[in-house]
C-alpha cells in the first residue's frame, strides 16, 4: 500500500478547500495529485500554476466504471495513499470506495449526522438551528455516513441566508480540513 502521507485531492470546481490543503501540507503530508471530473475546473489551473501534478477526465460518454478505473489508475500511478475529497461533486461507486476503504475522507458542509446530502445550509436555517458548520468524515458506501473525524460549528445569525451561512462555513472548512487531514494520515 502507498504511503498514507501521499495525498490525492479530488475537485470539481474552484478548489478553495484544495488550496487550503495545499497551503497547509508542509511536513504533515504531500500532495501527490490533484484530480478532477471536470477538465475545465478552475482549481486545476491554480494547481498547475503551483507546479502540482494534475489529472482530469470527464466521465461523459465513457460511463462511471471506465471513468473510475481511469481515476483509480491515475491515483495509484501517482503513489497516492489517501484521497481527500474537496468539492468533488460525484458520488463514488461502492466498488471504488471498497478499493480505497479507510483511505478516503471528505469535507461536508453540515454538522453530521444532520443534513446529509445537498442544501445543508438552507435546511439548517429552515429547521431553526442555532448553528451550522462542517464535518470531515471517512467516506463509506453510505452517503455522508462514515465516522466523523472533526467538526467546526458556525453560528447561524439572524437574517442569514443559505449563501451568507455558506460563506462563513467555508472559512471554517478551510481551517478544519487541513488539521484533520494531517491527523488522519498519521494514523
Tell me the catalytic residues. 108
Q: Please choose, from the candidates 45, 42, 52, the residue with its C-alpha nearest in 3D space to the C-alpha of residue 22.
A: 52
Which distant-in-sequence residues (6+ apart) come within 8 Å of 61 by Cβ?
none
CB atoms within 10 A of CB 101: 12
Asked if residue 35 lies in contact with residue 8, where contact means CB atoms within 8 angstroms, the answer is yes
7: left (phi over 0), alpha (psi -120 to 50) or beta: beta
Question: C-alpha 34: how far from its chain's center?
Answer: 11
Chain Cα centroid distance, residue 184: 14
Strand, helix or coil for residue 78: coil
C-alpha distances in angstroms, 24 versus 28, 30, 61, 124, 178?
A: 8, 10, 36, 29, 6
CA distance 170 to 149: 17
Amino acid at each position: 500500500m502507498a504511503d498514507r502521507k501521499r495525498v490525492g485531492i479530488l475537485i470539481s470546481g474552484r478548489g478553495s478547500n484544495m488550496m487550503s490543503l495545499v497551503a497547509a501540507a508542509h511536513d504533515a503530508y504531500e500532495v501527490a495529485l490533484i484530480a478532477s471530473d471536470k477538465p475545465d475546473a478552475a482549481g486545476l489551473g491554480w494547481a498547475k500554476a503551483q507546479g502540482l501534478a494534475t489529472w482530469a477526465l470527464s466521465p461523459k460518454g465513457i460511463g462511471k466504471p471506465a471513468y473510475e478505473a481511469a481515476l483509480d489508475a491515475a491515483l495509484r500511478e501517482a503513489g497516492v495513499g489517501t484521497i481527500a475529497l474537496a468539492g468533488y461533486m460525484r458520488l463514488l461507486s461502492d466498488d471504488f470506495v471498497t478499493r480505497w476503504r479507510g483511505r478516503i475522507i471528505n469535507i461536508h458542509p453540515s454538522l453530521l449526522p444532520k443534513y446529509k446530502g445537498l442544501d445543508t445550509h438552507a435546511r439548517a436555517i429552515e429547521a431553526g438551528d442555532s448553528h451550522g458548520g462542517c464535518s470531515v468524515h471517512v467516506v463509506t458506501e453510505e452517503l455522508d455516513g462514515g465516522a466523523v473525524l472533526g467538526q467546526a460549528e458556525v453560528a447561524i445569525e439572524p437574517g442569514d441566508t443559505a449563501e451568507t451561512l455558506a460563506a462563513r462555513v467555508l472559512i471554517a472548512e478551510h481551517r478544519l480540513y487541513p488539521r484533520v487531514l494531517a491527523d488522519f494520515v498519521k494514523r
